[in-house]
Structure 1
Amino acid sequence: MMNINGKDSKIDTPDLKKAKETYDKIKMIESIDMDDAYKRTRSKISILEKSQFIHRLMRYAAVLAIPLFLATIVLSVLMFQSDKFNKKQVAEVMVPLGTIVKYDLPDGSVVWLNSGSKLQYPIRFTDKKREVILDGEAYFSVESNKENPFYVHTPYGISTYVYGTEFNVDAYSKDNKMEVTLIRGSLNVINHRLNEQTKLTPGNLASLSNGYLKVEKTDIDEKSGWKNGELVFRQASLLEILNKLERHYNVEIVLENPEGKSTADYSIRAIFRNETIDQIMDYLSASIKLKWTFIDENQALNRRKIKVII
């Protein structure tokens, strides 16, 4: 009797070869666990579908994140109660470090917010006063309205009010410094703690000195150039420069002074536009003979640290 596998037979015809191939395929199919194969196949399909869904979700999330990143602001609407706003819905704009934001207010006024600033304002100006609260630095171009004055309140108990003009307010709560610079028009500055009020003319600056308002002439470009991406210094102190560099470039600067030198002895006159932080630090190093270095070059994705030695 002939063995269908052909091992015991020397007969090798095309028909026998086909029969043998068919027999082998049938045996292979019979050996497959169909239930197990079905389960494994469905599992692979499920994993693939999940992977494709996650990939699409991440792609959509990236697309949605782009305009949020470009806007570079955090905007939230909340219920806010204070003596200034008296239970009103308030919007809050927070500007990340290393960023400048131009923003339109409900009354048509425009505000430029500097790095690290926070502005609160009613989502609708319904009272006779248009009031905002600022912690940081902002350049205001206020829509003229003689019946509804525009107020800017700061953490220092200092407020400004105008009917329509352009001015700059520098009032970071962490800096222990408050300055108001009038660009054009007229502006009134109020010191609530002393019930003191003064009026500015264009090109004048009002600052808080020992609790009192001090008025003096100033360089408008130095005080407002930041909104155009410029850092303008006119005989600025080293500490003032380092503070502005920290915010503008989102870096942390650690100042070391082993010999106890007076930082007041260092003053700089310069304008920086498109320079990198490295180029500016090299300029300062050559100008006032300080030494600087990045503390950790591997922190490029986080806030970089710079050590400055004078």
Structure 2
Amino acid sequence: MEPDNKDIKEYLLLAKAINDDIVDYENYNIGRAFLRNQRRIASGSRKQRLVRSALRIAAVLLLPFILSTGILSYLYIGQMQNDKEVSYLEVVSAPGVITKMELPDKSKVWLNAGSSLRYPSRFTGNERNVYLSGEGYFEVQSDKQNPFYVSVNDNMKIMAHGTKFNVNAYGDEQWIETTLETGLVDVIMNKQSVLLEPSELAYYDRSNQKLSIRPVNVDEKTAWKDGRLIFRNTSLDEVVKQLSRRYNVDIVMHKRTNIDYKCRASFSTESITQILDYLKLVAPMKWKIAETKQLLDSTYPRQRIDIWLK
């Protein structure tokens, strides 16, 4: 016997009521909701046929809910177990590239070319620790209860609460520099700390393990994050190092003099060849781009530029 329109309408009303019960399962108490549905069905004046049909509808609707609830519970428990373990991530800025990133606490970091930063997937405990190789500029979210630490080696780290600062710690340099733009930082060496104030630079000499503080032009030390190079009475050797890093080229100096030429200039969109032509006005030099030959493994080496300083 086919159900009439009235029966179909009541089926739909029953199905909607059952579905509303399922949506309202705040405590996932399926048994209690099922009993409510049975009482609702029993209170009607329809025949036994309607009851059986409604129960079948309930079974169809409840079964996916039971299965999905079980799956979600399993995933939730699994996530709770995974949250107990903190994984570490590492961001590497390729040669010739400046990388901007955001840490789990919303602090921002710029990584200079050839630099890397290792940090946890989430900060736990009372400290926020990251590990820098190379150069990074940090905008740290203020949190006095959970200080922020940048470690550059086993003996040296920089502590900040809410600060903007730059750390230059390339492994091939004989020094480590920390430049403070705003706020306060402590440069910690072997459990001894030195407090930096804005527009100060902490200079650590690896050769004699001495730490000194001096005033500095902050823009000169941090302009790289905006794609600019600023040199203020900078030695030609240092200029060449920064150009090599910025443009991802090998620059080889051939010196015939011990004169320490200094450079004062600012660059942003200039090409490496334009900058080298400018340097010819600063010092008696000539330069040439070496021919690049394919290697045996079919790759090409980095571009090389030779500079002859008279």
TM value normalised by structure 1: 0.68
Would you say the 8 A contact 2:292–2:301 is kept in 1? Answer: no
CA distance in 1, matches of 2:293, 2:258: 32
The answer to whether residue 288 in structure 2 is matched with residue 289 in structure 1 is no
The counterpart of 1:148, out of the listed 146, 149, 159, is 146
Separation in structure 2 between the aligned mates of residue 244 and residue 156 of structure 1, nearest angstrom:
26
CA contact (8 A) 1:93 1:118 kept: yes
Partner of 1:49: none
- The alignment status of 1:199 with 2:195, answered yes or no, reads yes
Superposed, which structure 2 residues align to 1:1-310 within 5 Å?
A: 88-155=86-153, 157-192=155-190, 195-209=191-205, 210-257=208-255, 259=256, 261-262=257-258, 265-296=260-291, 303-310=302-309
Matches of 2:168 and 2:228, distance apart in 1: 16
Q: CA RMSD in A?
A: 1.7
- Using a 3 Å threshold, how does the CA distance of structure 1 residues 215 and 156 change in structure 2: closer, same or farther? farther
- Decide whether the 8 Å contact of 2:108 with 2:139 is kept in 1: yes
Deviation (angstroms), 1:156: 6.9
Q: How far, CA to CA, are the matches of 1:254 and 1:212 in structure 2?
A: 30
Instruction: Give the Cα–Cα distance (whole angstroms) in 1 for the partners of residues 250 and 229 of structure 2.
Output: 17
Write the deviation string for residues 180-213 of structure 1: whole angstroms up to 9, x where unpaired.
Answer: 0000011110112xx3211011000001132121
Given that 2:126 and 2:146 are in contact with CA atoms closer than 8 Å, whether structure 1 keeps it comes out as: yes
Uncovered stretches (5+) of structure 1, i.e. residues with no partner: 1-86
| Per-residue deviation, residues 206-226 of structure 1 (Å, max 9, x unmatched) | 011321210000001100000
Cα offset, 1:155, TM superposition: 2.9
Contact 1:155 1:171 in 2 (8 A): no
Q: Would the aligned equivalents of 2:169 and 2:176 in 1 still touch at CA under 8 Å?
A: yes
Ranges in structure 2 where 5+ consecutive residues have no aligned partner? 1-84
Paired residues of 1:156 and 1:178 also in contact (CA < 8 A): no
Number of the residue aligned with 2:41: none
Distance between the aligned counterparts of 1:116 and 1:167, measured in 2? 19
**Aligned mates of 2:114, 2:174 — CA distance in 1:** 15
Amino acid corresponding to residue 155 of structure 2 in structure 1: G
**Structure 2 CA distance for partners of 1:122 and 1:253, relative to 1, 3 Å:** same
Which whole-Å deviations, capped at 9, do the CAs of 1:237-276 have from their partners, x for residues lacking one? 111111111110000011112x3x226x111111001100
Report the counterpart of residue 68 of structure 2 in structure 1: none
Amino acid in structure 2 at the alignment position of 1:239: D
- List structure 1 segments (4+ residues) > 3 angstroms apart after TM superposition: 297-302
Q: Distance in 1 between matches of 2:145 and 2:188?
A: 19
Once residues 113 and 123 of structure 2 are traced to their aligned partners in structure 1, the CA distance between those partners, rounded to angstroms, is 26
Paired AA for residue 176 in structure 1: Q
What displacement does 1:176 show? 2.0
Tell me, in whole angstroms, the C-alpha distance in 2 between the residues paired with 1:262 and 1:188: 38
User: Structure 1 stretch 285-294 or stretch 106-115: which is displaced more?
Assistant: 285-294
In structure 1, what is the equivalent of residue 16 of structure 2?
A: none
State whether residues 170 and 179 of structure 1, in contact with CA within 8 Å, keep that contact through their aligned partners in structure 2.
yes
Deviation sequence 1:99-120 (CA, Å, 0-9, x none): 0011000011000000000100
User: Contact conserved, 1:155 with 1:173, CA < 8 A, in 2?
Assistant: no
